[in-house]
Amino acid sequence: MTKKWVYAFSEGDGKNKKLLGGKGANLCEMTQIGLRVPPGFVITTEACLAYLDNPKRQLPEGVMDQVHAALVDVEKKSGRKFGGRTNPLLVSVRSGAAMSMPGMMDTILNLGLNKDTLQGLIEQTGNERFCYDAYRRFIQLFGKVALNVPEAEFDEEFNAVRDKAGARHDVDLSAKDLADISERFLVVVKRSTGRPFPSDPHDQLEIAIRAVFNSWGGKRAVDYRREFKITPEMANGTAVNVVEMVFGNMGGDSATGVAFTRDPGTGENVLFGEYLVNAQGEDVVAGIRTPKPVAAMAEEMPDLHRQLLDLRSKLEAHYKEVQDFEFTIEKGTLYCLQTRNGKMNASALVRTSVEMVREGLIDRRAALLRIQPEMLEQLLFPRLDPRFKEKPITNGLPASPGVAVGIAVFDADRAEKRGRTGERVILVREETKPEDIHGFFASQGILTSRGGKTSHAAVVARGMGKPCVSGAEGIHVDVRMRHARAGDKEFSEGTLITIDGTSGAVYLGEVPMIEAEFSKELATLLTWADEAARLGVMANADTPEDAERAVKYGAMGIGLCRTERMFNGVERLPIMIEMIVADSTKERQSALDRLLPIQREDFKGIFKAMTPRPVTIRLLDPPIHEFLPSEHLLVDEIDELEKLREILRGMKVLSDSVAFMNHARDVKPEVQKFTDPALVDEAIHKKRAILSKARSLHEVNPMLGHRGVRLGLTFPEIYRMQIRAILEAAAECQKAGIEVHPEIMVPQVCTAQELKAVRKWVDDIRVEVEDTYRIKLDFKFGSMLEVVRACMRADNLAEQAEFFSFGTNDLTQATFSFSREDAENKFLPMYNRMGILQDNPFEVLDVKGVGRLMEQAVQWGRRTRKDMKVGICGEHGGHPASIRFCHTIGLTYVSCSGPRVPIARLAAAHAALLGGEKIVDKAL
Amino acid sequence: MTKKWVYAFSEGDGKNKKLLGGKGANLCEMTQIGLRVPPGFVITTEACLAYLDNPKRQLPEGVMDQVHAALVDVEKKSGRKFGGRTNPLLVSVRSGAAMSMPGMMDTILNLGLNKDTLQGLIEQTGNERFCYDAYRRFIQLFGKVALNVPEAEFDEEFNAVRDKAGARHDVDLSAKDLADISERFLVVVKRSTGRPFPSDPHDQLEIAIRAVFNSWGGKRAVDYRREFKITPEMANGTAVNVVEMVFGNMGGDSATGVAFTRDPGTGENVLFGEYLVNAQGEDVVAGIRTPKPVAAMAEEMPDLHRQLLDLRSKLEAHYKEVQDFEFTIEKGTLYCLQTRNGKMNASALVRTSVEMVREGLIDRRAALLRIQPEMLEQLLFPRLDPRFKEKPITNGLPASPGVAVGIAVFDADRAEKRGRTGERVILVREETKPEDIHGFFASQGILTSRGGKTSHAAVVARGMGKPCVSGAEGIHVDVRMRHARAGDKEFSEGTLITIDGTSGAVYLGEVPMIEAEFSKELATLLTWADEAARLGVMANADTPEDAERAVKYGAMGIGLCRTERMFNGVERLPIMIEMIVADSTKERQSALDRLLPIQREDFKGIFKAMTPRPVTIRLLDPPIHEFLPSEHLLVDEIDELEKLREILRGMKVLSDSVAFMNHARDVKPEVQKFTDPALVDEAIHKKRAILSKARSLHEVNPMLGHRGVRLGLTFPEIYRMQIRAILEAAAECQKAGIEVHPEIMVPQVCTAQELKAVRKWVDDIRVEVEDTYRIKLDFKFGSMLEVVRACMRADNLAEQAEFFSFGTNDLTQATFSFSREDAENKFLPMYNRMGILQDNPFEVLDVKGVGRLMEQAVQWGRRTRKDMKVGICGEHGGHPASIRFCHTIGLTYVSCSGPRVPIARLAAAHAALLGGEKIVDKAL
């Protein structure tokens, strides 16, 4: 007995894509669930492989016999006869591998036509023009695809007839013209192949089948598979699908259309689609006639409309997802030709998924898993209207997602001023510094011409959830002139611009956008996600406002509160600078004494907003020189002040004093306000002290410098102030009946001794605060793991730390020895291009290197402290693939910026539902 | 039966220091090996602890009984009677814990004296003055130590008598004066304690024993143990040693002396020491009489001299080390009072050790182990004469060991000029740059006022084996004025100065020094070391001269040849700069084409020097901006050139042109040589191009920047040139019959993909070179492990790399997230002071963190490639403790700077002999 090479749609296994190809399996499945699909059959991929393996390129024994048998079956079901003079059966022949794969053979339509069957078709349809058109198309397609006739030869003849007929478009051609073309095409084929066009439909079919098989081994397909790394396990050989042709253009009781089972734009539970009466599929696409909405069918063809609704129900009941399907009505019979999962925007996807759960169609697991977490970004940030297609004036780095529109303003002071009047402002700078922070608050978004995704602008904007485009190197910013140029485009202060922090694009003028949509359905979905997840999701938040927002996004607490941000406020930075410039512990302490109540209030605000959730507060991390203005800026300011002093003294008029006075109007108000040389002297003195400090604090590699706990141990009074502010804030909240769970976290730790030293301060201050407030405090003490050595010593650190939090931004830099700013500007894009690295490790956690280290650290840490709480608070904490890895290695929670919390919640659910697939080598 | 609390010297276990204390055990041992030691006994540390544990502070039951019994035994052996009127037995009472420990009780001598026994002693010695002196000393010491009488009260009485007698020194006091003092001291004791001085020798002894025990729990001792972290495991309680007093001042047949069994200065095998006839030990120390060399005893007391030689033989035969011993001859009887291992300089230690092996006294293992590898440094670098005691004018960092003397010169050009005339030169700079390299060659040593132990100056000097003091911040260098100031000391060009790169000290003038001494014995010892070691020792060497030196030091190959150093030569740097500034690949290639033959010749020179040993060559590592002059310098130069141009054009005479012309004489010859404004323009143009490139190459964190293989992959032509130079050099050597084993090493690798890409070039160029030269090349391809991720992916990297070399300098920086330069200048000293870190991890390999990572990497790497050759080429490769760790984790070799090779060879032997003690937690 020969092998079974051919399966009728009624018998093929709808799940066996490997054997039947994706398309074939789909047709079998639709047939078997009772949808009316035109009859047909599939020739298996095994037949293809056997054919290609055969050195003589003979079809395997039995294939054509089985094809003929299957054809007989199709004839029976359709009531038509293949090659028949009357009521002829025409078929389409399509390739179809296990995966959709461009580069495979085109479809052949209308196979079975020859002079005889053509007449039958004309009789049947009464549409001579359509039939000749179908005929010439068949000859052309078959000739090209199955017989390798060069397409140009057909085009030449076609154009000759068209010119002769004086037709401008194809549609202007008459039936006669098309008949003429068909004749000429037959000649072309004969001339090109040396043989007449095969007129026997069975010959046509066999040639078509061979052609499909051959195309699998053809250059285009082989190249494609190599390029996209499609292995034989993924797809091996192509199947051939032979299907009866049905026609929607057989009169007023025929039609064709496409539909979604629900509205893909809104997710509303209504049939959504369009159709054309007495038309073919290509007419819908061609756009010559305007299709009607399917709702119209209810009146026009009520019975068929009911059938369509029935089809819709069957599709959803079976596929459990919104379907995008094609249908054709031939003489009052509705055929479903194809169906696939409908592509929808995030909003519709969320709504349909939640509603399908309520309808009992799917369970929560399915609803959660069908939505890729990253898709939610659409719903959480405003975005460009996708219909807007203009080119941006330049592109920078997508540093903080969302779209912002406002007038360009070139310094923070003016941004604040104009922002206060209610204007929408975009702060445009070469790069930003801590002293610009008030400008951030006042702005809709930030645009810089320098700096990467970890530049000050990017990090602060992300923290605030404001859109930011950084490192837009195409823009030349002239702050003094309040002017910017990008190529031949220019803009000045007051010009309306739009920045897209999701893509990095910058536009002149206001670009239409779509607002964020946090729907009820999304809220529901995320509640389900929380129930499914094992990982907790916390937010990074530095202010009470951030904290409130984090709660709205569903954060289970704050995983990272960066205390240094609090020092950047306008009224605080000067005190901070005073503290830094201080020459003695006493002076430093005096500045700290003024910072203490400010920090305490900050913490109280955050605790209140988060109650009763945990709040993890990281002690001061960055090197203190980051709080000082740049050397460059200071030198400039001192220069200007010196000039001003000379002018004021009237002792000497510099040749450029006029120019300077012109400048003076544009410079900072601080400089303008002096009218007394003595005051200028004082200002110069102060600036020089700052400059000298800035120089003494200069570091060769600030990323690896005097920061974090290193700094904390050098100037104990800073950390002590912060610890006191935290514990006093907690005590005051507790006294006021507000439940608080602070967690004090030490940054840049590399040895347990550092933790021990800080812990001693914490213990001492706890005693004092408890005595003063007469309460018992409840808090945790823990360590960042962002230094490689901390990971290597995690077992040891766990003796001091009650929790760990991976700082994967720094850890990635240290593990790769890549300075993020330098890498992203210099070699990382090249590395990605060359395939040396697949991803940017600062965006996608490097599980093989950094991840292996983290996994090791978790194991070691828990060896000492079994139930150790371990989280991640680097940017990776908001990245779905990284979250999955965090789940796998057993982290307790991830923490990310507020607006990414929903994404992370869904990703955490996915991780739990899809299980702990191990990504790195487990044989440690 | 009560416990045994007391051991006679003849019965105590000489190894049981814990029970008997160090001193007691030593006395027991000496007694038992047949040396004549005055009889005595030890009261155990257990007795001490039992006494201190007793709330009533009673001596444990049986102690005094056993003491009395032991005393009877001593009386028997000495023929004297404790408390006897004639021939009285006197004893000394000493504390003695398991470890030598200042802060414990002073020795009590002459215990047993009272009015009666004093008379007996006078009769016995016939020396009344000596006896009264002994008596008053006993009362004073006993009073102070055992009875807590304030010392001032004794001093008062003593001074009163001295003044009355009109004596200037103690020696001027007569026997009567001393008798008077004794009487007064007895009164002092009675007044202070309220009781008469104990006259019963047995009472004296018990009080003394209690006092010794009490001192263990006293504040001084407790503080000391806390300060030096002496745990009960190390020493718990003190023993008490009671020994018969013997006297060297009992006439012409009595004497006292100290001796070494061999000459501790030269190591020569002769008895070495001094003695005084009819004297006490303190007379030798007091220096009133000049002792004679022991050789003189051969004539003066031939019999005793023979006994002394016999003692010497017995000591060496037993202790197997050179002994430093004390002896006393009482009436013709030689007593050995104490012995310990003799402290010797390295040279003597090496000689005695090698000779003792030849004499069959010890085996090679013992000889190797008794010499601490670091000691050899004395023999390998010139050092200050230890007798020189003046204070340095300032101290910097000991950046490269050895002492150098020369005239101060403040720039490299002048250093070269003066050096060529034969002057000894010390190059003095604020900091050095690659363009100063010719100045290094011309100098004896380098002194900088800025930069740490990894500054350019330090690294280059170490590489060249020249002394260097870096970061001597106390010195203000004024290069223009060719002048420097350190506090109130100043020096100018031409002033003779001395720098000590071993200690960091800087002196004015020429300081006496001792040259390096690579003796025959050292060579022998190191040959034994090589036989004992499992680890190979290679050298870091960058030039043929370095390589030749490395061979002399016994290196088994070159473990690190840094190719970038080769670009710093005067004739090469301009081409390198041209290559860097090049705007196109073509321009770059043209510069590289000129560098190729230069590098090839370098490699040939090195291969020839090292044949047939392996030579590991690292491809270009540092960021290329390191080859450019500093921005600061360029801006200065451009300024000067611009001024020069204006002067030359005669268009404008600046007010400071005279000052400038004065400067001009001092500035670089390049600037002076221009006389044509057009040439100046050209020079300015060139400098500006370099400046602009330097700015575009600026990096935020250069340590983590665009360097190593990252740079190699960005500009493939650089690595391709280097690979070609290596392989062509190898081919040419091979053709000339010189055996070569090059190993090409890729720096900064973080993923196997990088290695794969470079390996492709290597494979391609190999084929070309083999074709051209018609030979087969034999070489290895490997990777640095200096990036954490490389360690985490070692299994993967091992698929590409045939060997690994740990770059622990960079790896330590990345593991700690410490930038070495910043850390050593900012917080590392504080960390060491606070005990947060025990050592500087850049000097002593951090085995707990970095080491754990290395161990892991070795295991993973060898999982892929079983016999993988793995080395270390960071500075730790020359540090003995680190070498021991490298042995433990199974490295194949260590590589260090040439002059440290002997130290490393000995350390490698120690590691093998002491076995693979695991230092880090093994439960990975």
Which structure tokens are listed for A234? 């993924």
Kind and range of the H or E run holding A896: strand A893-897
How far apart CA A691 and CA A632 sit, in angstroms, is 9
DSSP one-letter string for B232-301: TTT--SEEEEEEE---S-SSTT-EEEEEESS-TTT--SS-EEEEEET--HHHHHHTSSPPEEGGGHHHHS
Q: Is A693 on the interface with B (CB under 8 A)?
A: no
Most confident residue range from A770-774, B128-132, B219-223, B395-399: A770-774
More confident: B386 or B160: B160
Residues with Cβ < 8 Å from B151, sequence gap 6 or more?
A: B144
User: Which token pair is B541?
Assistant: 């060497």
The minimum CA-CA distance between A569 and chain B, rounded to whole Å, is 26
Q: Which segments of A27-90 are extended strands (E)?
A: 40-43, 81-82, 88-89
Q: Is B760 on the interface with A (CB under 8 A)?
A: no
Q: State whether B750 and A849 contact (CB < 8 Å).
A: yes
Q: Which of residues 896-915 of B touch A (CB under 8 A)?
A: none
Show residues of chain B in contact with A853, CB under 8 Å.
788, 792
Q: What is the pLDDT of residue A288?
A: 63
Kindly tell me if the per-residue pLDDT of B488 is higher than 80: yes
Q: Which of B787, B819, B846 sits opposite A701 (nearest CB)?
A: B819
Q: What secondary structure does DSSP assign to B129-198, as a single string?
A: HHHHHHHHHHHHHHHHHHH---HHHHHHHHHHHHHHHT-SSGGG--HHHHHHHHHHHHHHHHHHHSSPPP
CB A458 within 8 A of CB A439: no
User: Which among A805, A795, A825 is positioned nearest to A874, based on CA atoms?
Assistant: A805
Q: Name the DSSP letter for residue B502.
A: T
Angle at A516 between CA A513 and CA A517, to 5 degrees: 125
Cβ–Cβ gap A792/B853 under 8 Å: yes
pLDDT at B629 over 90: no
CB contact under 8 A, B704 and A793: no
What sign does the CA torsion over B869, B873, B877, B882 have? negative
The reported pLDDT for the residue numbered A921 is 38
Q: Quickly count helices (H) and strands (E) in chain A.
A: 37, 33
Alpha carbons within 13 angstroms on the beta-carbon side of residue B394 total 22
Q: Which position has the higher pLDDT, A779 or B923?
A: A779
Alpha-carbon span B810 to B560, nearest angstrom: 14
The pLDDT score that the predictor gives to residue B652 is 43
Q: What is the maximal distance between C-alpha atoms in chain B?
A: 113
CB-closest option in A751, A814, A822 to B788: A814
pLDDT higher than threshold 60 for residue B920: no
- A835 shares contact with chain B (CB less than 8 Å): yes
Host H or E run for residue B329: strand B323-330
Residue A287: the pLDDT is: 60
pLDDT of residue A672: 54
Which among A810, A826, A849 has CB closest to B817?
Answer: A810
B757/A834 Cβ within 8 A:
yes
- B787 lies within 8 A of chain A by CB: yes
Could B700 and A699 be called an inter-chain contact, meaning their C-beta atoms sit closer than 8 Å? no
pLDDT along chain A (924 residues), means of 10: 90 92 93 94 95 91 95 94 93 90 75 94 87 92 92 91 85 89 95 94 95 87 82 88 90 88 90 87 66 90 93 94 92 91 87 96 95 87 83 89 92 87 91 82 91 77 84 88 89 93 91 83 96 96 91 95 82 87 88 94 96 96 85 81 73 46 50 67 86 86 92 94 97 96 98 97 97 96 98 97 97 95 86 90 94 96 96 92 94 94 96 68 34
Any B CB within 8 A of A817 CB: yes
Residue A816 touches chain B, beta carbons under 8 Å = yes
Q: Which residues of A touch B827 (CB under 8 A)?
A: 706, 710-711, 713-714
Confidence of residue B731 (pLDDT cuts 50, 70, 90): very high
Q: How far does the CA of residue A786 sit from the closest CA of chain B (Å)? A: 9
Residue of chain A with shortest Cα separation from B835: A753
- State which amino acid sits at residue A143: G
Residues of B with catalytic roles: 456, 873
Q: Which residues of A touch B786 (CB under 8 A)?
A: 817
Residue whose pair of structure tokens reads 């003038």 in the numeric block: B509
Is any Cβ of chain B less than 8 angstroms from the Cβ of A822? yes
The DSSP bridge partners found for residue A252 are: none
Amino acid at B589: Q
Q: CB of A160 within 8 Å of any CB in chain B?
A: no
For A242, phi then psi, to 5°, come to -115, 115
Chain A residues within an 8 Å CB radius of B924: 924
Q: Does B702 touch chain A (CB under 8 A)?
A: yes
pLDDT tens by residue, B562-584: 998 778 777 788 888 888 888 88
Q: Is A886 a catalytic residue?
A: no
- Contact indicator for B18, B26 with CB cutoff of 8 Å: no
DSSP B590: H
Q: Which member of B706, B822, B849 has the closest CB to residue A705?
A: B822
Q: Any chain B CB within 8 A of the CB of A591?
A: no
For residue B709, the model assigns a pLDDT of: 96
| Cβ-defined contact of A822 to B714 (cutoff 8 Å) | no
For B161, phi then psi, to 5°, come to: -65, -45
Helices (DSSP H) in A320-443: which residue ranges? Answer: 346-358, 364-369, 377-380, 412-420, 437-442
Chain A residues with beta carbon closer than 8 angstroms to that of B817? 703-704, 748, 750, 786-789, 810, 814
Close Cβ partners of B225 (under 8 Å, ≥ 6 residues apart): B101, B235
Residue A884 confidence (pLDDT):
94
Establish whether this prediction's ipTM goes over 0.85: no
Inter-chain CB proximity A789 and B849 less than 8 Å: yes
Rounded to the nearest integer, the mean pLDDT of chain B is 89
- Determine how β-strand A6-8 pairs with β-strand B489-492: unpaired
Distance from CA of A795 to the nearest CA of B (A): 10
What whole-number distance in Å separates Cα of residue B800 and Cα of residue B761? 13
Q: What is the pTM of this model?
A: 0.79
- Kindly tell me the number of DSSP H helices and DSSP E strands found in chain B: 37, 33
Q: What is the DSSP letter of A707?
A: -
Q: Would the CA dihedral through A360, A365, A370, A372 be positive or negative?
A: positive
Residues near B28 by Cβ (< 8 Å), separated by ≥ 6? B7, B9, B10, B11, B12, B13, B14, B20, B42
Helix axes B128-147, B115-125, angle to 10 degrees: 140
A827 touches chain B (CB under 8 A): yes
Other beta carbons within 10 angstroms of residue A839's beta carbon come to 14
Could you tell me which chain A residue has the CA closest to the CA of B811?
A: A817
Residue of A nearest to B788 (CA): A815
pLDDT for B75? 96
CA distance A852 to chain B (A): 7
pLDDT at B103 over 80: no
> Is B832 at the interface with chain A, CB within 8 A?
no
Give the dihedral of Cα atoms A318, A319, A322, A326; nearest 10 deg: -80
Task: Answer yes or no: do B815 and A699 touch at CB < 8 A.
Answer: no
Give the pLDDT of residue B670: 53
From residue A499, how far is each of A405, A422, A845, B643, B743 by CA, in Å? 7, 19, 27, 46, 52
Nearest chain B Cα distance for residue A703, angstroms: 7
- Residue B525 tokens read as 């010892």
Model confidence band, residue B315 (pLDDT cutoffs 50, 70, 90):
very high
Residue A713 forms contact with B (CB below 8 Å): yes
Kindly name the residue from A336, A750, A791, A873 that is annotated as catalytic: A873
